[in-house]
């Protein structure tokens, strides 16, 4: 039953995770656990002004949690903080079936997860960690300015 979730794209991200590893002196560092599955993820980001200059992750857990974290680092790198928030919001809506997954994007490989609510937590873990990190303004930068439009 779970096999169909492990598409080639997901396995590829597991075997060759993008941006995996600790980021020294990160502006954002957030650790999150998914006790339901035993997944663990730490996301790191470096900001350049209001831009997400670099995103990395570390952790361990099921294929879906780690692949989704790897995809997230690619998706959020280079985005403005506002765009990153919007991407996270969009991803969460996709995971509950409210929005379509982008075609021609690795994220579409996670579409099958939507049918398994218990695995949605796995897929959302890194994204939730990033969101929490952003809402705290990153680590040790209390007055991080998110520009108004
Ligand atoms: Zn999991």
Using the mean position of ligand 1's atoms as its centre, give its distance from the Cα of residue 61 in Å. Answer: 6
- Domain ranges in the chain? 2-135
Is residue 56 within 8 Å of 43, Cβ to Cβ? yes
The pLDDT of residue 141 is 44
Residue list, CB under 5 A from ion ligand 1: 37, 39, 62, 65, 122
Q: Provide the percentage of residues in the chain whose pLDDT is more than 70.
A: 89
In angstroms, what is the C-alpha Rg of the chain?
A: 15
Using the mean position of ligand 1's atoms as its centre, give its distance from the Cα of residue 57 in Å. Answer: 15
The pLDDT tens digits for 38-90 are: 999 999 999 999 999 999 999 999 999 999 999 999 999 999 999 999 999 99
Using the mean position of ligand 1's atoms as its centre, give its distance from the Cα of residue 16 in Å. Answer: 18
Axis-axis angle for helices 117-135, 81-95 (nearest 10): 160
CATH 3.40.50.300 assigned to 2-135: no
């Amino acid at each position: 039953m779970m096999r169909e979730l492990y598409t080639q794209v997901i396995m590829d991200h597991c075997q060759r995770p993008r941006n995996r590893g600790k980021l020294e002196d990160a502006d954002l560092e957030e650790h999150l656990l998914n006790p339901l599955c035993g997944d663990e993820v730490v996301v790191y980001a470096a900001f350049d002004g209001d831009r997400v200059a670099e995103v990395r992750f570390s952790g361990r857990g099921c294929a879906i949690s780690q692949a989704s974290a790897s995809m997230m680092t690619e998706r959020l790198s280079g985005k403005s903080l506002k765009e990153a928030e919007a991407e996270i919001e969009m991803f969460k809506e996709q995971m509950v079936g409210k929005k379509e997954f982008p075609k021609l994007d690795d994220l579409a490989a996670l579409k099958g997860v939507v049918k398994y609510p218990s695995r949605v937590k796995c897929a959302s873990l890194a994204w939730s960690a990033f969101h929490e990190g952003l809402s705290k303004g990153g680590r040790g930068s209390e007055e991080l300015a998110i520009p108004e439009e």
